[in-house]
Amino acid sequence: MNMVELITKKKLGQELSQEEINYFVMGAAEKTVPDYQLAAMLMAIRLNGMTAKETTCLTLAMRDSGDVADLSAIEGVKVDKHSTGGVGDTTTLVLAPLVAACGVPVAKMSGRGLGHTGGTLDKLESISGLTVEISEEDFIRQVKETGVSVIGQTGALAPADKTLYALRDVTATVDSLPLIASSIMSKKLASGSDAIVLDVKTGSGAIMQTLEGSIELAQAMVDIGVLAGKPVTAIVTGMEQPLGTHVGNALEVKDAIDVLSGRTKGALLEVSLLLGSHMLVLAGRCETPEEGVKLLKEALDSGAGLEKLRSMIKAQGGDSRVCDDVSLLPQPAVKRTVKAGVSGYVAAMDTMALGLAAQAMGAGRIQKTDVLDYSVGYVLPVRIGDLLMPETDLAVLYARSEAEADKAEQAIRNALVISDEKPELPKLCYAIVTKDGVQRF
Ligand code: URA
């Protein structure tokens, strides 16, 4: 067996056997197959797809490419949450502390930015001193002591995904159902949690942009969960516009702190409460999502959620004073407020273009080795349905230079559709998928 034969087979749209998938995956994990052959295989999969059997084999091979974490030393049901990725989508930083404040341990392994989407690890690393590279032993100790930890998957966990994820980011092979499903589920199955809540985004900023594609992805991941014996609830949420008002690494940390401090309400909080409430249900903390929302709101109002974030940042070596003073987060060279300049309703947004605009400013990687600038990005206070006047603040840009601010301003203007007609407002939640079926809203 060799990689050229396997790439050829997939290029011709043929089904790969379990042995062939294992060969490719172990080649990625052990780095015995060069990046250019892995990248060619990823593109062949992206273009020709995979059967359900291949997707399952790929997921299990990726899970088994490294260790499977043992979290049994942490008492209680450990529920993980994972998003397919969005723009201004920092629900983890809001819900992990809130869920922990409700008494449910959160031992979460997160990812880095991928394509136009941001990554929780990159956001956390914008906090001075904070580390996301923690041994499994210290991770477990931290969760036992503080109730919450968010770290990177350890090198020993699903190493094949680590290699493939980084390659997909820079080879335009992110938007592939089998690659997304196997990437997410292999990590979730290896990370030792007892149950999983998945946030599957849909809309112009999602990896899967159509509702049917997003529901199909949700079903594929729920099916893999069933096969692996783990309860999975997948919630299809809207990504027709950035979820929060802030896009960029330090800016999204600020957005999460603003929410946990009670200063900001809105879609980021609503979706965090929705996902968090399903985590509480799967953990057995409450019977219904409605009860879960109530518990989470209590943790928000009492300040217990913000306190948990503070403990987590401190435990991971970060400067927890950011929870009280967000100006301690990295600041950019240039800050520019942009006015709408026109009147009309915000009718639609090209949210992928908005994500790419932040990436181009230095908030995301274009090449694997790119070093991020944590301070850059933008605040976009306007939402679909808002009526703009020429003097309305459209955005505040946080840039490395005036020239980059110019480019970002143009990209943001191009990404917004302004119309005389008031548009229909997008939903926050479109469907909930479990092993029992699909509930649409
Ligand atoms: N998140 C992941 O972990 N993997 C993907 O492929 C997409 C989103």
Task: Grade residue 367 by pLDDT with cuts at 50, 70 and 90.
Answer: confident
Q: Measure 187 CA to ligand 1 centroid, in angstroms.
A: 9
10, 46, 168, 278: the active-site residue: 168
Q: Measure 437 CA to ligand 1 centroid, in angstroms.
A: 23
CB of residue 311 inside a 6 A radius of ligand 1: no
386 is an active site residue: no
> Which residues have CB under 8 Å from 235's CB, separation 6+?
197, 198, 199, 200, 218, 274, 275, 278, 429, 431, 432, 433
Quote the longest CA-to-CA distance of the chain. Answer: 65
Judged by average pLDDT, the poorest of 67-71, 197-201, 404-408 is 67-71
Nearest to 21 by CA among 176, 226, 33, 216: 33
pLDDT number for residue 111? 80
Pairwise CA distance, residues 169 & 418, whole Å: 31
CB of residue 85 inside a 6 A radius of ligand 1: yes
> Which residues have CB under 8 Å from 440's CB, separation 6+?
430, 431
What is each CA distance from 190 to 68, 71, 76, 161, 182, in whole angstroms?
Answer: 4, 11, 18, 11, 12
Task: Grade residue 207 by pLDDT with cuts at 50, 70 and 90.
Answer: confident
Judged by average pLDDT, the poorest of 44-48, 173-177, 402-406 is 173-177
Residue with CA at minimum distance from ligand 1 atom 5: 180
Mean predicted confidence (pLDDT) in 254-268: 97
pLDDT number for residue 156? 83
Environment class of 144 (CB within 10 Å of its CB; exposed 0-12, middle 13-18, buried 19+): middle
Two tokens, residue 31: 């780095």
Mean predicted confidence (pLDDT) in 103-123: 89
The pLDDT of residue 385 is above 90: yes
Pairwise CA distance, residues 154 & 185, whole Å: 16
Two tokens, residue 398: 């946080």
Pairwise CA distance, residues 233 & 183, whole Å: 17
Calculate the average pLDDT of the chain.
95
168 is an active site residue: yes
